[in-house]
Amino acid sequence: MLRVHEFSIAEALAAQVQRHAPAAGRVTEVDITVGALRGLEPEALRMSWEAVTHGTPIAGATLNVDLRPWTITCSTCGRTWPSPVPFVACECGDPSPVPTAGDELDLVALTIEEES
């Protein structure tokens, strides 16, 4: 069976988090932002994350997925707004404003718990 494509993203992310994780302490949360353009399912990402981190030093870390909508910019009136879909007309009448953001796939924060 073909793996869901979220799986390889989760694999890359797990390797990246392990590189950043300090030797002393436990990673409890991992925050990522995902643009809508990437076509990634947050739920599939979280399930893949659990599978790839299982049995590793970062097992149990919660994956927080901040799903970013398309940001649409209208070249006619200059308006910029978030939209759940890429194909929308602008209220100024321009039928085809273009998405200008929504392709992010970034690791933005780690939360580390240290015994003191």
Which one of 16, 64, 71, 83 is in contact with other proteins (CB under 8 A)?
A: 16
Positions in the binding site for Zn ion (CB under 5 A)? 5, 74, 76-77, 79, 90, 92, 94
Binding of other proteins by 65 (CB under 8 A): no
Joined tokens for residue 91: 């209220």
98: β partners: 73
The residue (of 5 and 46) whose beta carbon lies closer to Zn ion is: 5
Q: Which stretch binds other proteins (CB under 8 A): 37-45, 49-57, 59-67, 76-84?
A: 37-45
CB-based contact 116:26 (threshold 8 Å): no
CA distance 51 to 28: 16
